[in-house]
Homo-oligomer: A and B are copies of this chain.
């Protein structure tokens, strides 16, 4: 959708003061698309373009512009211009922008805003990050239960343009407590003289301001809601989280889980891959890679401890890569499947035994397959041959049985770790696939040389 060819044309039109053409350009595409073009221009040019259209469209386009460009635009412009735009912006996006401003810019800017907006920003930016309070918007339509449908529609008509969504309207008591809701659909279907209290639904699904944002998103997902009301600890309505925020949270959560699974540390970056500097990528990846390298050296020490066995029977070396790979693959698979199931709320930590039983059956199948293949490979194609001190059968057995045991324990270990983490109230996603693979590698080497000792006596 991005078409940088248009940017020079826009500049040309600005220079020639063809404002009518610019205005119709801004009005005739989706604000999101316009924002993508504008994001490629300088802050001062964007202001000149935005000033061609009315404040509603201006605010619509502005909220789709990249947050960095927003910060630049807000930090470097006339305060009146900015204040007007900020007053019109959705409260959640506005609070987000304020979080990104430098302290002194934010403080100065606040003074230019009307008191209600100022209070709103201070309140919304005060919630702890990643909570429902921090992502909610305060712009929701509310009604008193004693109004009639007719009065309610009149009230909503008056307030609607400033509300983020009016598809659900919340019914609050005189103490601002959430006592019910009506959908706009229900409202326009009801008889004009009916009382809101009669037509409202009383079983409202809601969350608290300090609830985790992921739980909030999952409630929206589970109950197919357009918006979820958020209340404070005294059950007073504080705001709403809308379905589009839920989608963003789900995406971020998935990215975070995926990165953790690959031992990439730190939170999810707001910017896209190419925008994040190489050094930041490096830092996020290096932490665990370096720790894992030390574990890799430890595995090396275990191999070293058995060097005499290896020297006596060099063929054992050839199967170490397979032993490691098979353990890592099957362990990562079971860990991933169990982790996903936990993320989707399919499992309670109480299902531990059921999961272990299932994984045991699966690993039995996998380990027998891989064990037989490996046994067959060694026994029927012994390659360079076996020293006379050992029989081919025994060597094949050591390698085949080790592989079987390795797959068996890796699969069960992989499934167990995320379940145990959940029991211990640790985020199960901390258990990355590389870390798991490292432990499985170590265990595999020990299994391997123990088998060699038991069967071959070396």
Contact = CB atoms under 8 A, between A and B. Distances in A.
Contacts of A366: 282, 285-286, 289
Nearest to A161: B189
Looking at chain A's contact residues, the main secondary structure is helix
Nearest to A296: B322
Given A30-B223, A282-B362, A377 B304 contact: no
Copy number in the complex reads 2
Given A274-B351, A286-B369, A296-B326, A29 B161 contact: no
A354 B296 CA distance: 32
Interface string A276-305: 001101100110111011111101110110
Interface in A362-385: 362, 365-366, 369-370, 373-374, 377, 383-384
Interface string A204-220: 01000000000000001
B184 A329 contact: no
Given A300-B322, A318-B303, A330 B285 contact: yes
Given A156-B188, A318-B301, A373-B290, A384 B307 contact: yes
A340 B281 CA distance: 14
Interface residues of A, number: 108
Contacts of A145: none
A196 to B, nearest CB: 16
B333 A264 contact: yes
A328 interface: yes
B347 A325 contact: no
A212 to B, nearest CB: 17
Interface of A: 28-30, 32, 153, 156-157, 160-161, 166-167, 184-185, 188-189, 203, 205, 220-224, 226, 243-244, 246-247, 250-251, 254-255, 258-259, 261-264, 272-274, 278-279, 281-282, 285-286, 288-290, 292-297, 299-301, 303-304, 307, 310-311, 314-315, 317-322, 324-326, 328-330, 332-333, 336-338, 340-341, 344, 346-347, 351, 354-355, 358, 361-362, 365-366, 369-370, 373-374, 377, 383-384, 433-434, 437-438, 441, 445
